[in-house]
Structures are given as C-alpha cells and as structure tokens.
Amino acid sequence: MLLRVLVLFLGLIYSVLAVAAPDISRLQDKIEQLNKQPETEQVQALKETYEKTIDQLTKAQDYAQQAKQYQKAMDDFPYQSNALRERINTFQAPEYLDPSKWNKQQLESQLALRSAEQADLKRKQQKVSNTLNNIENQLSGFQPKVDVLRQQLSDAQHKLDLQKFSAQTDELSQAKLVKSQVLETSLSNQILMLELEQLSASSRNEISNLELTLTNLKLTALQQYIDRLQAVQSEIRKLATEKAIKKGQEIAEQLATNSPVLRDIISGNKAFSDSLHSLNQDLETALATQSNVANQMTEIDKAVSSMREQVEWLKVSSAFGESLRNRLKQLPNPPPLQAVEQNIVSARLAKYKYQQELDILADPSKYISQLEKSHKEKLNNDEHSAVYALVGARKQLLRQLLSLSENYIYEQAKLKVAYSQMTAKIAHIREMAEQYLFWIPNVNPVNFSFIKDTLLAIGWLVELENAQQVPLALKNATQDFWLLYLIGFMLLLYFWYFANHFFRPYLKETADQVGKVTRDKYIYTFNTLILSVLLALPLPLIMSLFSYLLSNSWQYPIGQALGEAMTVLAWVVLFFMVVKNMCRDNGLFIAHFKMQANRVNRIYGFFQQCFITAFPALGLYLFCLEFESSNLYSTIGRIAFIVLNLSLAWFYWRLYRDKLPITYRHQTGKNPHLLHHIMWPILAVAPVFYALMAVAGYFFTANSLMNQVQLSVLLGLAFLLLYYLVHRWMFIQKRRLAFDRAKTRRAEILAQREKEEENEVSSSESGLDAIEEPVIDLETISAQSLGLLRTVLSLSYMLLLIYLWAQIYSAFSFLEGVTIWNTTSSSNGIDTVDPISLQDIIFSIFSICITVVLVKNLAGALELLVLQHFDLAPGTGFAITTLTKYIVIFNGILISCAFLGIDWSKTQWLVAALTVGLGFGLQEIFANFVSGLIILFEKPIRIGDTVTIRELTGTIAKIKTRATTIIDWDRKEIIVPNKAFITEQFVNWSLSDPITRIITRVGVAYGSDTKQVTEQLYEAIKSCTLVLETPAAEVFFVGFGDSTLDFEIRVYVNELGQRMPTLHELHSAINSQFKQQGIVIDYPQLDLHIKK
C-alpha cells in the first residue's frame, strides 16, 4: 500500500514537471534569427545560452520519458510476470521437421536457418543478462548519484532565486533565466527518474529473470534440434566417406597386377582414403568440442551470476570467501586457442594440396602418360581401363576431401571464436574474483582448536603409508633408467670437485691483478661473476634432479609435493651459494668492488643465520602449499610461513642497524638518511605484518604480498649488482685514460729533455723520475655519468616493479572506490561530476617523483646520450638542456594536476589573472625570465664569451633564467640581470670571431726618417709571438703632432685575453728596436717666448 502511494505521488510530480518545459522549436527559431544578425559578443552569448538550454531541455525530456517507462514497468509488472510464468510452465519444445530422410543440401539449408535463429536467441540472452547487470549496478550506485544531484538542484534553485530577484529585463538575462529554469527541471526529472528506477528495480529484475529463463528453454530446445541435424549430417558424411573408400578398395582388390603404375596409384588412393577417414574423425571431434564449449560457456555464465550474488554477500560476511575460491578452482583451464589456429592453417594447406591433385587429374590421359614416362612402362588395354577406374576413384576421394576440408575449416573457425569468448570470460571471472577475494580470509584464524588441528596434521604426515611415499616415488622413477640417473649424479659430483679444484686458483690470480693499472681488466670481473654462478651450480642441479624424479611420480602425492617444493628450493640454494662465492676474499664484493672485508663478512654472517632458519621453513611451507585444500596447509604450512617471515624481519632489521653505505652515506651538515630510515624499517616490519595476517586468517593475502615484496627485493639486488658492474667498468676506463695521459706527459718531458740537451741547456732532473701508476679514487669518475647510470637503472627498476605488481593490481582496485573529493567538468555545456580517488592521488605523487628524478639528471643524460654526438655551437647544448628541462617540468605539473582533476579549462582564467597581476607586481623578474629565454634562443652571449657591458668586462660563466654570471679579470663574480643584455648595448668580443685588434701609437722626434721608423716598427711587430700573421699587421704615419711625428700600429691577436701581454711585448720590442737604431721617442716640448 505504501509503495502504491509513493508511486502515485511521484507520478503526480512527473505530471507537474512535464508541463513546465518551454518549446524547443521556439528556441531554435530564436537561434536562427540570431544567425542572421551581425556577430557581436551579445549575439554570441545569446546563441550559446539558447544552445545550452536546448541541450538541457532535451535531457529533461529524456529523463521524463525514462521515468514514464519505469512507471509503466511497475504498472505492467503483475500482467507481464504472470504471462511469462505461464509460458515457462507450459513450455514445450517446438515440433521440428524430421531430418532423417533429408539430403545434404536440405540439411545444410536447415542448419544455416537454425544457426541464425540460435544466434538471435543468444543475442537476446546476452541483452537480458546485460540488463540484469545494469540493474545491479543501478542499485549499488543509486544513493551517491542522488546525493550529488540533490546538491546540484539546491544550487540551481538558489541561483534561480537570485536571477528572479534581480528583475533584469534585457534579452540575455531573460535567456539565462530560462536556462536556469530548464536546468532545474532537468535535475528534478533526473532525480525522479532515478527514484522510479530504484522503485522499479525489483520488478524489472524479476521480469528479466523470467525472460532469461524462457530464452534458455528455447535455446536448449533449439540446441537439441541442431545437434540432431548435425548428427544426421555427420552420418551422411560418414556414409559418403565410407562409400568413396570402399570403391577404391574394391577396385584395388579386383586388380592382381605387378604393374608399378597401378601399384603407385593404388598406394596413393589408400593414402587419400586414410586422410579422408582421419579428417572425418577430426570433424566429429571439432563438433563434439563445440558442443562441450557451449555447455562450459553456459556453466561459466551461471558461475558469473552466482559470483555476483556471493560478492555482494562478501560485504556482509567473509564466510563466502572459501566458497568462491572453490568455485574458482572448478573453472576450466583456458582453451588451446593456438592449437585451433594451427589446425586451421594445416587444414588450409591440405586443402590447397588436394585441389592441386584434383587439377592434375582433370585430364586423365595426360596424367596416365606422365605416369608411364616416369615409370618407363607401357600399359596394355586392360591396365588402361583399370587405371581410368582408379583415377575416377581418386577424383571422388579428392572431392570428398575438399568438401570435408571446407566444413572442417568452418567448424574450426567457429571453435576459435568460441575459445576466444571462453578465454575472455574466464579471465574476467578470475579478475573479478581476485579483486574481492584478495582481502578475504581463506583460513580460520588461530584459536584454541589450532593446536589440535596441527597435531592431527603432523600425525597424518608421519603415518607409515605417507612417510614411505618419498622413497617409493624415487624407486618408481628410477627403476627403468637407474644407471643413467646414477651416471648423471656422479657427473654432477665430479663437476663439483673439478670446479673447486681448478676454478678457485683462477679467482685468486685474478683478484691479485685487480687494482693494477697495467694488468687490471674488466674481463676478470666478468669471469669472476660467471665462475661464482658455476661454482654454485652443482648442489642446485642435484636438488633439481631429485625434484624432477619426485615431481613425475603422480601416484605418490607426498613425493610429488616434495618435488614441487624442491624446484623452488633449488633456486634458493643457488642464490645462497652465489652470494657466498661473491662474499669470499677473492670474490666480487671484496676484491673487485673494494667493499670493506669486515662489513661484507659480518653481513654474510647475518645472511647465513637467516638462511639456516628460513630455508627449512620455506621448504615446509612450499610442501604444504601443494595441499592447499587440506588441513596441512592451514596448520603446519601457516607455522612455517610465520617462522619464515620472522627470520626475514630479523635479517632486514640487522641490515638497518648495520648502516649500509648503500643507503647510509656520510654527508656534511644535516644528515637525515631518509632512504635508510624508510626502506629498511618497512622491509623489517612488513614480514611481521604478513605473519599477523596469517594468524588472522588472511593467509592467501599475506602469501601474495610476501612473494611480491621479496621478488621486488631480488630485482633491486640484481639492479644493484648491475650498477656495481658498470661502475667498475667506468672506473677501469677512467683510470686507463689517466694512465695514457701520464704516459703522454712523460713522452713530452723526454722529448723536451732531448731538445734541451741538443741546445746545451741544463734542465732539472726532477721531471725524469719514473712515473708511478696513478691511483685514482672512485669519486673521480664523472658524477653525471654515475647519475645517469643510477637514473636509467632506477627507471628500469620502476618499470619492472610496475609490471610485477600489475599482476595483483585488481586486488588494489578498491583504491578507486575511496573518493577524496569530487570535481566537475563541462563538455559541450554538459556538466559531469568526476570523483578523485585515493588511487589518483597516489598516481599524482608518483608522477611528481618521476618528474623530479628526470629534471635532476636530465642534463647529464642529454649530454652523454645525445648532444655529444652532434657538432653543436658553444652554448647550444646548454640551451637545449634548459628548454627540455622546462618542458619536462611543465608536462609533469600538467600530468600531476590532471590526476587531481585540475585541468586547463578550469585554471586558464586564474592563470590569466595571476599573469596580469604578477606582470605588474613582478615586472622586472618576468622581464629577466623572458630575456633569459631570448638569450637561449638567439644566443647573443654564450658561456665562455668575453663581453663588455656598461663599464664591466669579463667572461660569461653561467646563464640562468633570471641573471647571468660574469667573471671579471679580478676573478670576481658579477651577477647581471638578463634584461641588460636585451635592452642595452654591449660588446661581445667572441660572438662570431674571437680575433681582436690592438691599436697603439708612438711619436718620434721631428727630423726622424719616417721610412726607417716604419721598417723598425714592422721588425718589432715580427718579434712579437702573439701577433697574428693573418690579418696582417699595419703601420701608418698618421699625423704631425705638437712635438712628434705620430705613427699608429694595428695588430691582431687570437682573443681578448692576449691584449695586455701583446701590448707589453710590443712596447718592449719597439723601445728596444728604436734604441738600437738611434730613433728618439720625443716628449712634448713647450717653447716660451719672453717679450720685454
């Protein structure tokens, strides 16, 4: 009764709202009238307002129509449900025609007709299933949608009240008022539609379930008839095949001849008969497989529906977790899709071969003539007749093969489609189940009955029947080839002895060569790494041999489980032995990587203690993991898992306390060591957390997380080892380069000494001492090269981690449901609400971290990977790296903001306003920033240029975004704003040509020979070592001074820095040359005339 009243009330609201809408045609007429008017801002605003009003009005009408349909669904529910139940209860399979006497063509026509009917029913079935899923989704998302819409309706009503209160009568205001009224109507209709949708959900769900039941009944009946048609068709094909085979056999039996031609044809016909028989069986198998797949698809669909219902119950009780896991185990394995594709390819090739054979038989006379020539035999008339009969039989066989091949390819193609659909559905079910089951307990929490269950599991395990399974499994696996296995075991033992006897002395010899410049080679390090693995192989290989023997003994489940566990344990032992070999005194860590021996031995001691405890716990846990459905897994396996994690926690805690240099570096000033205090505590606490989860019953979840974390740690260790290997290679290359330079310097010293001895000039003996091999510390290696290496390895490690953790990504998809806030976006005038989840925030933080890492190491990466391979002008590389850095920062900010729901459409006006405000308030700073960009593009100055600006002369040292640093001749650093280089005049002494000219004047006494003065000045210029020959120096007699004849000297030098040394040398040479030639450099004279 209450539901009827509510329905009548909502219907009344619907009738009231339905009449309040303006006419769309009138709004469209107004837009057409505006299109005829001149384009102004007023006209454009009116058009946009009317268009948005039409959109909202269309949506309001759609919502009203949907609400009307939901109302009708509730009104018609009693009649529809009764009618559907009546049809289901009285359903009888249609009386199809009897196909037992039909021919092949009739069967194919009927099969095509019924297959099309079946496809239509399956589409209807899928449509009804989708409707049921939509109803479930509507129920779960109803309340959040309605809450958001009610808030939007409240805001729209408040805005509408303000517009009415303003009482503005202009056309634009009235248009906006109508738009607000329509928006209010649209939101009201949408809320009404959602409420009616919620109220009618149970009715629609019941109707859909009844329709689905009726459709399934029709499909079942139709499938039975199709199976009958296929059975009759198969029988006809079988008869035709047998007839063709029998005909060939009868002809062959009637012939008793020794003719090679006849024997060849009979042999070929027999082969085609066998192929026809085999192809017919393959076709029957394909049809049976199709029927089986159809049944499996039906079961999978039922499993999906059942799982959806149980998933909803999981939110109330976790007791359904075990049921769902058992349901997952019952799912079929993914079908062999590649095998079907290979069958199709093979069938097409065979069909092509059959067609070629049939084409050859098109002219029997020609074919028989070729056979006679190839066998060098002449057939008589009777043999000719027999050959023609055999060729006719072969034609019939080939035609039947071609027909069957076409059918087989078609059925295999249908099977491929079915396999693809089945694979997709199985993957969807597993993904959906993992998403919900990951955080559901799979075993009972530890309680008082746990001890009893553990004792029962131990008792079952030590029973005589179970304890004898391992030796029986070994005996059963080796009884046929025991000698071969014994020889293999002895070979492994011999390899172990050989490796220790011959390889260990080599490791000692190479370790002695490490650190010596002339003898050290990187191949020693590489060989030591390979030998560390080879020396560790024998014991894991022996374990793998036993694992192989036990794993194949399926009759003994205890032995098989132990074999599966030993497969993983062999890898663990290999890892332990490799680490042990690397930690030796002549191993990689101490001899090659120069790590502290006492620290390496101490950490290896921690690792060995952890291994002693963790190894048997891991083996017991892996053994119990094979009995996941038994009590052994939840008792003994859980105890082993807890011991294993506590051992790992102890080991990571000792590493944290030991302060490894990898994460704990000695720094000046503040020394927070954030990585050290974050990474190791997390790794130490995580295993304790997994143990507690196992105690609470979340055994599967704890196991999955532990596996992912430990695999991540192993990947990190692999990348760390790769870093040290590349680090050592760079160290050797750097040291070798330094040694080559030292030898070059020594050769120069020896050459200089020989030259001085020839000139009888004494030289110091200190430069002739033997040059020692340079000892270069690791810190001398290029910092940016190491930074680039760390960056590349870090990014590669992150990508691998993303791939690794993506395997359980669905388990963390709940982060998408944790909504932090909501954002609104507008597209074509339609506002949508986008939730910002916790996952979006995590991705935003991750993108910022990636941006920071890229910007920090971008300069070195570009220089080493790209820029050094191009012949760039000075300063171009710096401009490229700077602009690239700005682009990376800008894109990183955009990506991070996009995850947070902050897009450009929302912030463009704010950015514009801030730009205007900052443009006035920080005008000079922005001017300098833009000037810096102009400098980077136009390059009026570059790093290393010598410039003069205002009264300052110096060399450009740095070009930043705001200012440029100049170092003057006094080694002072002067900061000059970039704006000065754009707006003021300055001199760049080395912009396009660093050569500069020096002008100096000299005056000689009146009466001097000007020709002789000119010659002596040129002689003085020639004696200057820094003066360039090209451009040539020039000397000019420039005028008559008050006391002297004035000469001007113009010379050129390579750069500005040579001006003062050249002037010093030139003045000294002129003074010396004039003294030798008696030329007087006169001084100013003043004549005084005294008058009485």
* 908, burial (CB in 10 Å: exposed 0-12, middle 13-18, buried 19+): exposed
Q: Which of 551, 646, 670, 661 is nearest to 603 (CA)?
A: 661
What is the Cα–Cα distance from 1089 to 1092, expressed in whole angstroms? 10
- Categorise residue 1085: left if φ over 0, alpha if ψ from -120 to 50, beta otherwise: beta
Q: pLDDT tens digits for 217-270?
A: 888 888 888 878 877 877 776 777 667 666 666 666 665 556 677 777 777 777
Those residues with Cβ within 8 angstroms of residue 987's Cβ, 6 or more apart along the chain or in another chain: 947, 948, 949
Q: How confident is the model at residue 326 (pLDDT cuts 50, 70, 90)?
A: low
* Residues in a beta bridge with 809: none
Q: pLDDT tens digits for 199-220?
A: 888 888 888 888 888 888 888 8
Q: pLDDT tens digits for 1016-1056?
A: 888 888 888 888 888 888 899 888 887 888 899 999 888 87
The DSSP line for 365-404 is: HHHHHHHHHHHT----HHHHHHHHHHHHHHHHHHHHHHHH
Tokens of 571: 């890898």
pLDDT of 1060 higher than 90 = no
Q: How confident is the model at residue 768 (pLDDT cuts 50, 70, 90)?
A: very low
DSSP designation for 807: G
pLDDT of 33 higher than 90 = no
pLDDT of residue 767: 36
Encode 76-109: b = buried (16+ Cβ within 10 Å), e = exposed. ebeebeeebeeeeeeeeeeeeeebeebeeeebee
Using DSSP, how many helices (H) and how many strands (E) does the chain show?
Answer: 32, 10
What is the Cα–Cα distance from 945 to 955, expressed in whole angstroms? 6
Q: pLDDT tens digits for 778-809?
A: 344 456 566 667 767 777 777 777 767 765 65
Q: How confident is the model at residue 903 (pLDDT cuts 50, 70, 90)?
A: low
What is the Cα–Cα distance from 387 to 402, expressed in whole angstroms? 22
| From 118-127, 142-151, 275-284, the region with the lowest mean pLDDT | 142-151
Tokens of 48: 């946009």
Cα→Cα distances 561→478, 482, 550, Å: 18, 22, 8
For range 513-533, the mean pLDDT: 78
pLDDT of residue 641: 92
Please give the mean pLDDT across all residues of the chain: 76
- The full set of domains in the chain, from first to last, is 2-94+102-216 (no CATH), 255-437 (no CATH), 818-921 (no CATH), 946-988 (2.30.30.60), 996-1077 (3.30.70.100)
Q: Identify the three-state secondary structure at position 468.
A: coil
What is the Cα–Cα distance from 47 to 17, expressed in whole angstroms? 25
- CA diameter of the chain: 169
Q: How confident is the model at residue 20 (pLDDT cuts 50, 70, 90)?
A: very low
What is the Cα–Cα distance from 108 to 235, expressed in whole angstroms? 13
pLDDT of residue 589: 85
Place of tokens 């059975």: 231
What is the Cα–Cα distance from 1066 to 1051, expressed in whole angstroms? 10
Cβ atoms of residues 611 and 650 within 8 Å: no
Q: Which of 23, 19, 86, 80 is nearest to 50 (CA)?
A: 23
The DSSP line for 982-1023 is: HHS-EEETTSS---EEEEEEEEEETT--HHHHHHHHHHHHHT
pLDDT of 688 higher than 90 = yes
Q: How confident is the model at residue 649 (pLDDT cuts 50, 70, 90)?
A: very high
Q: pLDDT tens digits for 434-452?
A: 666 677 777 788 888 888 8
pLDDT of 18 higher than 90 = no
Q: Identify the three-state secondary structure at position 596.
A: coil
For range 416-428, the mean pLDDT: 82
Quick one: the chain helix, strand, coil %, rounded to 5? 75, 5, 20
| Higher local confidence (pLDDT), 385 or 65 | 65
Q: Which pTM was predicted?
A: 0.55
Question: Would you tell me how many other CB atoms lie within 10 Å of the CB of residue 532?
Answer: 21
Backbone phi and psi for residue 537, each to the nearest 5 degrees, phi listed first: -75, -35
Tokens of 631: 């009590």
Cα→Cα distances 331→185, 313, 423, 628, 1020, Å: 50, 21, 11, 17, 102
pLDDT of residue 645: 92
Tokens of 107: 């069967």
Q: Which of 241, 269, 243 is nearest to 255 (CA)?
A: 269
Place of tokens 């929302």: 906
For range 594-620, the mean pLDDT: 89
Q: Which of 537, 424, 451, 538 is nearest to 490 (CA)?
A: 538
> Which of 180-184, 377-381, 627-631 is the most confident on average?
180-184
